[in-house]
Amino acid sequence: MTDYNCSLAELIINACAEAWRDDGELMATGIGPLPRLGASLAKVSFNPLLQLTDGENYYADAPVPPGKRHAEPVYEGYANYDRVFSALWGGRRHSMVSPVQLDRFGQANISTIGDRAAPKVAMLGARGFPGNSIYHPNSFFIPNHSTRSFVADEVDFVCMAGYNPERYLNGTPPKGLDLRIIVSDLCVMDFNGPDKAIRVVSLHPGVSFELVQENTGFELSKASDTLTLTPAPSEAHMALLGTLDPNNVRESVLKDNPPAIRD
């Protein structure tokens, strides 16, 4: 494993980037520094057609680094909220988000934990998750792979639709529902198991399938009998990351910035 000369955060960014590889020309939204850097890396490496915003009002010609600005971005388009809604309702967007809970159907929660009338934990609210989930592709980044994030039952409040037949209208999945990949701090998963079940595609170096299963509240399948390792970023990608993240925000996302290879 000598080629894993990178941090876990960098391995994750590289894995997140893959979500947008074959998307063609659409709005790529990575919420949080690692998904955002993943979208940035996808744009400057294998999918230059992606449209990225500055995180606020405008599409930028080149990815805008998270944190302190070292140069004024060159803008190429307008991304006010009204336009973002219009764009996403047209389907040409692929988001990667980090819900607090995710279940075996891919249903996601960022609203409340516990009783709805007086919740144990009140979080943001559903934001745009319900609409996003049925209008355009979505992927996930879960920074702490555990049975608290990958829950045994349904999530406490379903903000994003998933592949749950019980909730389908007229027996068909919501039109536009298209869940792609899940990147966690342990592995990469997708929804290509039987009946859209979540399955492990690759393990981060030093992680066993058993460890992933132990930290997941539902049963996982495997993409193949012998799971591959999540690929390390190439030297070229590592160099690009230096440019995309000059403030080294990626070092401060995961506790103690661990190396890619798990002890």
Partner 1 sequence: MSTEPSDDFSKVETPSEIISRLEDGMTIGIGGWATRRKPMALVREILKSDLKDLTLVSYGGPDVGLLCAAGKVKKLIFAFVSLDQYPLDPHFRAARQSGQIEVWELDEGMLHWGLRAAAMDLPFLPTRIGIGTDIINQPGFKLIDSPYEDGETFVAMPAINLDAALIHAHRSDVKGNILTMSPDPFFDELFSRAAPHTYASVEKIVTTPELDIETNARFALVERARITAVTETPFGAHPTSAAPDYHLDLKHIKSYVESAATPEAWDAYKTAYLSGTQADYIDAVGGADTIGAIAKPVY
- Provide the minimum distance between the beta carbon of 40 and partner 1 in the complex, in angstroms, as a whole number: 14
112 interacts with partner 1 by CB under 8 A? yes
Nearer to partner 1, 24 or 165 (CB): 165
The one segment of 120-128, 187-195, 209-217, 229-237 that binds partner 1 by CB under 8 A: 120-128
90 interacts with partner 1 by CB under 8 A? no
Give the dihedral sign, CA 92/95/99/105.
Answer: positive
- Provide the minimum distance between the beta carbon of 243 and partner 1 in the complex, in angstroms, as a whole number: 17
Q: Which of 26, 42, 52, 161 binds partner 1 (CB under 8 A)?
A: 161
58 interacts with partner 1 by CB under 8 A? yes
131 interacts with partner 1 by CB under 8 A? yes
Q: Quote the crossing angle between the two packed helices 33-45 and 8-17, to the nearest 10°.
A: 60
| Binding positions for partner 1, 27-56, rule CB under 8 A | 54-56
Give CA–CA dist 69/66, Å, rounded: 8
Q: Which of 89, 92, 143, 220 binds partner 1 (CB under 8 A)?
A: 89
Give CA–CA dist 184/98, Å, rounded: 10
* Contact characters 170-199, partner 1, x per CB under 8 A: x--xxxxx----------------------
- Provide the minimum distance between the beta carbon of 249 and partner 1 in the complex, in angstroms, as a whole number: 11
- Give me the residues that bind partner 1 (CB under 8 A), please: 54-58, 67-69, 80-82, 85, 88-89, 107, 111-112, 117-131, 133-135, 157-162, 164, 167-170, 173-177
